[in-house]
Amino acid sequence: MNDRRQKSYAVRVEAAELARSRKHPTHQANSDEQRYAGDLYFMSFTKGLIHNPDTGLLQDPRDFVEFRRAIDDGFIDPFTDKVRHGAKYFVDSDGNIKEESDPKKLEDFRQWEAPTAGVVHELEGPDPQAVTMPPAPPLLDSTGNTNPELIFEMAEVYELAILHDQPLNNFEKNGTNAELEASIVRLNKLDYLKNQNGRPRKVDKDKKLDKQTVFRGSSPGVEVGPYLSQFLLIGNKSINEDADVLDGKITYGVLEINQQLPIAKPNINYMINWDDYISVQRGIKQPIEKYEKGRRFIYTPRDLATYVHYDALYQAYLNACLILLGMETPFDPGFDHLSGGGVAAKDPKTRRHAGGFALYGGPQILNLVTEVATRALKAVRFQKFNNHLRLRPEALAARIELVRCKKADEIEENRIPKALSKYVQAFIDKLEKNGNSAMCKPSTLKKISEIANSTYLLPMAFPEGSPMHPAYGAGHATVAGACVTILKAFFDTSTVLVRDSKNNEYKFKPMEANDQLVAFRTCQDGHSLMAQEIMDISGALTLEGELNKLAANISIGRNMAGVHYFSDYYDSIRMGEQIAIGILEEQALTYPTDPFILSVPTFDGALVRIGRR
């Protein structure tokens, strides 16, 4: 084993040991019930394996053992040779596992996505095993009681399902929306906000959520202005000036990228009955989403979910980079002079005769903002498969529904593990007592899912529900953290969005006299954009805030679809940040001539400086 491989293996072992050592105390408890509550059997990702049609749980735990062995082997073939796929088998009425013969179920079944990607090595930046994440919120907290943090983030996912078709323009202080206001009231009654000892939510002075903070994320600037980052709406001026910022078209060379997207039909939610849920958990292919004619800008949570259903992962950040380059946004002052732009370049007396292009210029940033994406995906795969194997919200919701069925005498008690029944029931009781949450109000769920009887199944925006890989960390969020960190390293994050008084153009720039602060929002049900003046400097949209908001929007857009929790976003963007900083630090070592500094504001508000002085 060569030195690099030895070092990487040691880091991987250390990371695995760290993850095990941080596991919840109940994982090592003596009580059978407590051990079972933290057991891999019913609180881990099992999608794609053989599930019992009545309970939604694994039919044979040995399938999970083989699944884990295949992950540890690190090769693709064992997932076919040794792991039975749920689409190829079914459980009959006597509980026997038989081979599936229905060609519709066997055709184009869903594959597990890149379970071996995390065990590779990188030639630049940290290896996938060298960055890590703390454990996700477990079912029980350190006292052995139901975990307030997990209760809260599951309630958030249910509330977002209720809000699928509400205008995002209402998700701010001047918005008026009864559904959103009711969701905020329910969430504010939950225990976690009173003592946020996990991943923090932004709250007001009374430790309450409001319309300006709910579902927004955690980083500086995300609570300022419109819910949506400007980079998900605006365009920039085309080279022949036949399109402008308000048209929402991004100049890509001589081509254009249209920010408007297909419109998913409203009031259609998926996986809202038990048969559909079982089919999805078996990995059987589902029908595609239904769409209306035409396109519009992102207008509702369902629209944002549609965006993150089909995006090319780094595309939002590539788009942001193209917008900023098109606006001639200044680079970080620590190296702006090397780029050939900046203040000095605007005066013939101080303009240098040589500038950046392949180094410190547009091509370098365009390359880096996409290059980090695949490195982030490999790192998060190691966390997903090799470390955490966290079950998706859809599966936790089904566990809750299973307990409801037992309580309603719709399923025999002996079909459900005792620990699951006990602790998930306590989970439900906490929601009913403290939050009166939507998930515990069948009448509310009936309204959005159009079902005859009460259910706690999570209404999904995607027919197939979550992807075929575990929840934690989140791929979109890790890529967001990495790509946005690159953008924050290169561009001057202190700039603000204004209408420039000199040429009447919209730009991110240092504010000067007579410049007008602006923000863009959708209008006409999302079919056009409007620019609105900001009169108070506290409402200025900084580049740092809008990039942080972009990372939050994309990540939490996955929560809106029902496929992730808040902690998946929170920890993953920070791991993506580590990956990007590692790459920038290594690249800085290879620049032996001009001194330069990259100043990177982190997602926690600190400042990291990278460079050669």
Backbone angles phi, psi at 609, to 5 degrees: -110, 130
DSSP 501-569: TTT--EEEE---TT-EEEEEEEEGGGTEEEEEE--SGGG--BHHHHHHHHHHHHHHHHHHHTS--HHHH
Helix residue spans in 357-474 (DSSP H): 362-381, 393-407, 418-430, 442-449
CB-based contact 521:497 (threshold 8 Å): no
Sequence-distant (6+) residues with CB within 8 A of 185 are none
Q: Which residues does 366 contact at the CB level (< 8 Å), separation at least 6?
A: 318, 321, 322, 325
Catalytic residue among 24, 164, 388, 469: 469
Query: Of the listed 85, 388, 476, 564, which one is catalytic?
Result: 476
- Reading the block at residue 350, the tokens are 């101080």
Chain-centroid distance of CA 268 in Å reads 22
Contact criterion met (CB below 8 Å) for 70 and 82 = yes
Residue 535 has φ and ψ, to the nearest 5°, of -90, -25
d(CA 370, CA 389): 27
Separation in Å, CA 6 to CA 2, 10, 11, 146? 6, 6, 9, 41
Nearest to 428 by CA among 450, 405, 447, 409: 405
The answer to whether the CB of 432 falls within 8 A of the CB of 444 is no
Left (φ > 0), alpha (ψ -120 to 50) or beta: where does 551 sit? alpha
Tokens of 298: 């992102």
Please answer whether residues 324 and 366 qualify as being in contact, where contact means their C-beta atoms are separated by less than 8 angstroms.
no
ω into residue 473 within 30 of 0, thus cis? Answer: yes
Distances (CA, A) of 540 to 510, 533, 537: 11, 10, 5
d(CA 331, CA 514): 23
Q: Minimal CA–CA distance to 577: which of 486, 493, 492?
A: 486
d(CA 127, CA 339): 30
Alpha-carbon dihedral sign for residues 508, 511, 516, 520: positive
469 is catalytic: yes
SS3 call for 90: strand
List 608's β-bridge partners, or say none. Answer: 600
| End-to-end alpha carbon distance in the chain | 37
Q: Whole-angstrom Cα distance, residue 271 to residue 283?
A: 13
CA gap 506, 478 in Å, rounded: 30
Alpha carbon distance 481, 569 (integer Å): 9
| Short-list 148, 146, 147, CA closest to 189 | 148
**CA atoms of 343 and 331, how far apart (whole Å):** 10
Tokens of 266: 């409203």
Of 337, 315, 318, 334, nearest to 326 by C-alpha is 318
Please give the positions annotated as active site.
Answer: 469, 476
